[in-house]
Structure 1
Amino acid sequence: MIACFVTGTDTGVGKTLSSCALLHALARHHRRVVGMKPVASGAEPDGQGGWANEDSLALRAASTLVVPPQLDNPVLLPDPVSPHIAAERAGATVQLAPILQAYQQLAAQADAVVVEGAGGWQVPLSPRLRIADLAVALQLPVVLVVGLRLGCINHALLTAEAIRASGLPLAGWIASRVDPQMREPEANLAYLRQHLGAPLLADLPWQAQPDARAVPVQLPTAWQ
C-alpha cells in the first residue's frame, strides 16, 4: 500500500489541488485510490442533508474508492478558522487516536492513500497537538506544496528542514504558481530544485478554474 502526507508552506498554497492531482496520477497505476482530510475547518451543506468541507469534497471526487465520511474526514469542524480555534468553538478537542484508527481502516481497503494536512507544518490542532505531530504519528513520507510567491524560498527551506528534523522523509515537492504576478518565478523554481534535496513532482500553473486532471505529475518510481 502506498501513502503520503501532503503539507504546504502556508495555507492557501494549493494543497487540495496538489492532493487531487496526486490521486489522479496514482489512479493511473492503482485501482483503489482514496484521499483523506483528517481535520477540516469549515463546513457547508453537502446537498444530501449533511455537512462537508470543500477540500474533502474535492478529494472524494478525485478518489476511486468510496468510503464513509467518518473515515476520509474524521474531524469536521464548523468554523473556517485555524483548527485549534474551530475545535474550541465547537467544544471539541482534536485527538490522534480516532484519526489513526480511521487511517488504518482506509489503508486496509486501499492501494493508495493521499492524506492532506491543514494549513502548514506547524498549524495547531489543539493546545498540545500540531499538524507535524499528526504526520509523525502516521509515519508517512511527506510531499511539500510550495506556493510560488515572494518569500517562498525561505518558507520552503524552513519547512523542509522541519520535516526532516521530525524524522520523516521528504518524498518530493510540488510547485504551485499561486501568484501570477510574481517576479522571477523561474529563478525561484530553479533555486528550490537545486536546494530542497527532493524531486519536483509537479509544476502547477496558475489557473482561474483549477483542474487537477490536467496537471502532469511525475510520481516517484516506488509509487507506480
Structure 2
Amino acid sequence: MPAYFVTGTDTDAGKTLAATGLLARARRAGLTTLGLKPVASGSEATPEGLRNADALALQDQSRPAAAYATVNPYTFAPAIAPHLAARRTGVEVRLADLNDWLRPLLALERDLTLVEGAGGWRVPLNAREDLAGLAAAHALPVILVVGLRLGCISQARLTCDAIAADGLRLAGWIGSLVEPGLSFDAAADDALYRDNLATLASTLPAPCLGVIPRLPAGTPLAMADSAASCLELPDVH
C-alpha cells in the first residue's frame, strides 16, 4: 500500500503541516493512516520523556493509534541539526537501525503511510549517511514541500535534481505559504505569487498536490484539518 517520504526545500518549509494535512485528508476518506518522524530535534521534556511537537502532530493523525516510540524513535532536545543534536547526547543515528525500525511499519500496510524527514533532502544522520538514504533504501516515492518564499524556485529544482539522482520518483509537490512577512494582498504581489506558482508547476517533474495558505494559529489538529481542505492525495488506491 502507498507509503511516501515527505521532504522540504529547507527547514521550516511546512513539512509537518503538509504531512498532517494529507493524513487528515486520508482519514476523511475512511483510510487508515500512519505518520512517522524518524529523527526529531527541538523536543521538550515531559513526564513521559522527550516529546517533539511535529512527531506528536503526526501521531495524532495516525489511525489506528500508534505509540510515540513507534512514530519517533530518535528524539533530541537541542533545536539544531539532528546529527549535531545526536552527537551532543552521545548517540549515533545509523541508517541500518532506521531501516530495521521502518521495515515492519511499512509491512503494516496502512492505506497511507508518510515518513517525514528533517529539514531538507541532504540533512546528515551522521558523518557518513544522510536521511535521504532511508527513502532510497525502501524506494519510497517523495512528496516535496516547497516553502513559498524568495529563492524557492531554485531550491525546489535543485531538490528535485537530488531526488532523481538518488533514483527516486517525485510523486508530487505542495506549496506552503510559510513566510510571515510576505503579503499577496496587493495586485502586483498576487501576480508575482501566481507567476512563481506557474513557474514551479511548469518546471517541477510532478503534479502539484495543493497550496496551503497562511493559516491562523490553532491546535495541530485544527490546522491539519484546515490544510486537508487544500490538498489532494497522491495516487492512493
TM-score (norm 2): 0.88
User: Is the counterpart of residue 97 in structure 1 residue 110 in structure 2?
Assistant: no
1:115 is paired with a residue whose SS is strand
SS of the residue corresponding to residue 155 of structure 1 reads helix
TM-score between both structures, scaled by the size of structure 1: 0.93
Q: Tell me if structure 1 keeps the 8 A contact 2:16–2:54.
A: yes
The answer to which of 199-208 and 167-176 deviates more is 199-208
Residue 107 of structure 2 aligns to a residue whose secondary structure is: helix
Alpha-carbon distance between aligned partners in 2 of 1:30 and 1:115, rounded to the nearest angstrom: 20
SS of the residue corresponding to residue 130 of structure 1 reads: coil
Identify unmatched segments of 5+ residues in structure 1.
none
Which residue matches 2:231?
217
Q: Which moved more, 1:109-118 or 1:196-205?
A: 109-118
- Residue in structure 2 matched with residue 144 of structure 1 by the alignment: 144
Which string of whole-angstrom CA distances, capped at 9 and with x for unpartnered residues, describes residues 160-186 of structure 1? 111011100000000001125164211
Tell me how far apart the structure 2 counterparts of residues 65 and 34 of structure 1 sit (CA, whole Å). Answer: 8
The aligned runs of 1:58-207 (5 Å cut-off) are: 58-109=57-108, 110-180=110-180, 181=182, 183=189, 184-207=192-215
Q: Percent identity of the aligned residues? A: 45
Task: Give the SS at the match of 1:124.
Answer: coil
| RMSD, matched Cα | 1.6
Distance between the aligned counterparts of 1:141 and 1:152, measured in 2?
21
C-alpha contact 1:74 1:98 (8 A) present in aligned 2: no
Deviations 1:20-60 (A, max 9, x none): 011112223453211000011122134x5322111101111
> 2-side partners of 1:122 and 1:96: how far apart?
14
